[in-house]
Amino acid sequence: MGSVYVVGTCDTKGEELAYVRDLVAGTGLTVRLVDVSTTSEPSGVVADHGPDEVLAHHPEKASLTSDRGESVTAMSAALVRFIASRPDVDGILGIGGSGGTALVAPAMRALPIGVPKVLVSTVASGNVAPYVGPTDISMMYSVTDVAGLNRISRRVLANAAFSIAGMASHPPSEGVEQKPALGLTMFGVTTPCVQTIVSGLSPSFDCLVFHATGTGGQSFEKLVDSRLVTAGLDITTTEVCDLLVGGVFPATEDRFGAFERTGLPWIGSVGAMDMVNFGARDTVPARFKDRRLHVHNAQVTLMRTTPEENMRFGEWMGARLNRCEGPVRLKLPERGVSALDADGMPFFDPDADEALFAALERTIRPTANRTVERLPLHINDPAFAQAMIQTLKDVSTNA
């Protein structure tokens, strides 16, 4: 057993942090209290790791200033590296208001998926996406402000303390016969392809499918960064389109970065890169009013990408795949990249697809470990899925 780390600002939340620490310790677990205060106000609580120790981990050796925002930003960056340096993190519990939540959350997000993370926050009943991101942080609304102990805060904090204690005390059992895991990306318009792949690989692999909605792609790559998968079958890279054109399901600039950092095999395609996603029809930006649009449902409107946009997508994606030194296998389906991009369907546009394919072929530097191959198939043809399955097997055999 390692330790549960309780993190917060003892200068303003010392009483609450000490209360939580003692409850977790009472379950028999080892607890480390980390003080990330950004002022010199005395708290009366002795932490195991004080602000100076944490701040020493700042990548640029920053110091605290009279500007609270700057100090919180600096301490947050230092906390990310401090927590990453600790070899015994079996769980982490944070407490904070808006500032404390923003300070602690990045360190939680940097931990691998599966490490227990509980964050009690005054902002947990609103939009928590900026704090949770693609990770498994459990946020608990504090109900009252985190400003001392009372009949409400004691109950909420106790629930949080025993939650993290239970998570840390009861990790899931992992047998030696567990199948290796694969990450796959899917959209509704690439579902037949991914379902065929999952059906073919499930006897040998634990297939983890991620919906390519921006956060889904981030979660997919978070597992790659955490090395919780052995390879990625990145069938659906549509989030790149939303990033570069301004859709509602965008990737981040770090798309494909996890494969660059880890060297894990990337086996992928260009699924759903014929479209940019928007909300309801009346939310499509005015500058796109004359474009080819398809109402997918009342909440989702799709826009067909142009040859010019596809050329840009290919160059952007190719440049990032060039940075990956692990196995890279890109398969291009010449007869269409989504269910809507097929002969007789609304987004069928061979010229736009060709602009994408040509840009990728022109940009990607081929090596023995990085290849691009065209297939005379539609992405949802069973034969295309079989080609992806065989590629994974070939890469696994040669690894």
Give the 3-state secondary structure of residue 369. Answer: coil
The reply to whether 219 falls in a domain is: yes
Strands (E), 226-327: 231-236, 266-271, 275-278, 293-297, 300-304
Residue 31 lies in a domain: yes
Looking at residue 36, what is its pLDDT?
95
Cα-based distances in Å from 169 to 135, 172, 174: 20, 10, 15
Q: Which residues of the chain have pLDDT under 70?
A: 1, 174-177, 399
Three-state DSSP class for residue 130: helix
| Range(s) of the domain holding residue 142 | 3-169
Choose the final residue of a domain: 134, 169, 204: 169
In the prediction, which pLDDT does 40 show?
78
**Quick one: pLDDT at residue 174?**
62
Element (H, E) at 23: helix 10-25
**Domain match, 185 and 163 both:** no
Q: Are residues 309 and 284 in the same domain?
A: yes
Sign of CA dihedral 96, 99, 103, 105: positive
Asked if residue 391 lies in contact with residue 329, where contact means CB atoms within 8 angstroms, the answer is yes
**pLDDT for position 399:** 63
**What whole-number percentage of the chain has pLDDT above 70?**
98
pLDDT of residue 13: 92
Q: Are residues 141 and 251 in the same domain?
A: no
176 is a domain residue: no
Indicate if 186 and 164 belong to the same structural domain. Answer: no
Assess whether 133 and 194 both reside in one domain.
no
Considering the domain architecture, whether residues 116 and 197 belong to the same structural domain is answered as no
157 and 52, same domain (yes or no): yes
CATH code at position 232: 3.40.50.12030
Q: Among the three residues 169, 200, 233, which one is the final residue of a domain in this structure?
A: 169
Q: What is the model's pLDDT at position 176?
A: 42
Would the CA dihedral through 247, 252, 257, 262 be positive or negative? negative
Residues 157, 247, single domain; the answer is: no
Q: What is the pLDDT of residue 124?
A: 93
Answer with the one of 136, 169, 202 that is the final residue of a domain: 169
CATH label of the domain that carries residue 23? 3.40.50.12020
Closest CA to 18 of 48, 62, 40, 39: 48
The reply to whether 33 and 130 lie within a common domain is yes
Domain-located, residue 103: yes
Give the model's pLDDT for residue 18. 96
Q: What confidence score (pLDDT) does residue 177 get?
A: 53
Give a yes or no: residue 174 inside a domain: no
175 part of a folded domain: no
Q: Give the chain's domain count.
A: 2
For residues 34 and 9, state if they share a domain. yes
Same domain, 141 and 205: no
